[in-house]
Amino acid sequence: MSDYNQYSDSELVLMLKQDEHAAFTEIYYRYWKRLFTLALHRLPSREMAEDVVQDVFSGLWQRRHHTLIDALGPYLAVATRYAAIRQLAKSRQTLDTAELPESLLRAEDEAAAVRFLQQSMQEQLKQLPEKCRLVFDYSRNKGLSNKEISRELQISEKAV
């Protein structure tokens, strides 16, 4: 058996598509800690973070023949973020709702989903550089065109 830790991510992905268990194992050991840390920052417990990372790796193995992966690290990070969001949404639905009417439940779920998405979007926007945030704000909140934004921020229209 060759030493898989010397292979690049793209080589490991190719071997993964050829059902190489050892390549999957190397990917797991290479990325588990990073993904766990990422999930743990977004979730309230270690158990939830472990479940999320397990789901990500399980999905990677199950979809290894069908998924196009250009950059393994970013792919796994995004998959972990989305899995964490889904896990949070599931955990928020664990309230005892048996006594509430179904129409109220649907309205509450929709309102909660909207609040959750708005909160998530605000958190992501805070991570953007200032100019990017301004471009987003001018475009989405103020409805300015790219040309107007470029004039306002004194940057090229392509940069917008």
Looking at residue 76, which CATH number applies to its domain?
1.10.1740.10
Residue 119 lies in a domain: no
Distances in whole angstroms, Cα of residue 55 to Cα of each of 80, 114, 121: 9, 25, 23
Residue 19 lies in a domain: yes
Residue 160 lies in a domain: no
d(CA 32, CA 58): 12
User: In the chain, what percentage of residues exceed pLDDT 90?
Assistant: 41
Give per-residue pLDDT as tens, 77-123.
Answer: 999 999 998 888 877 765 444 444 555 455 556 667 667 777 777 77
User: In the chain, what percentage of residues exceed pLDDT 70?
Assistant: 84
Given a cut of 60, whether residue 145 has pLDDT beyond it is: yes
Give per-residue pLDDT as tens, 37-83.
Answer: 999 998 889 999 999 999 999 999 999 998 888 889 999 999 999 99
pLDDT at 21: 93
pLDDT at 134: 85
Residue 133 lies in a domain: no
Give per-residue pLDDT as tens, 122-135.
Answer: 777 788 788 888 88
pLDDT at 2: 60
Distances in whole angstroms, Cα of residue 121 to Cα of each of 5, 29, 84, 92, 128: 36, 31, 14, 18, 11
Residue 31 lies in a domain: yes
- Report the domain count for the chain: 1
More confident of the two residues 159 and 6? 6
- Phi, psi angle pair for 128, to nearest 5°: -75, 150
Assigned token pair, 26: 């190397």
pLDDT at 108: 57
Given a cut of 70, whether residue 8 has pLDDT beyond it is: yes
pLDDT at 33: 95
Enclosing domain of residue 13: 1-94
Q: pTM of this prediction?
A: 0.57
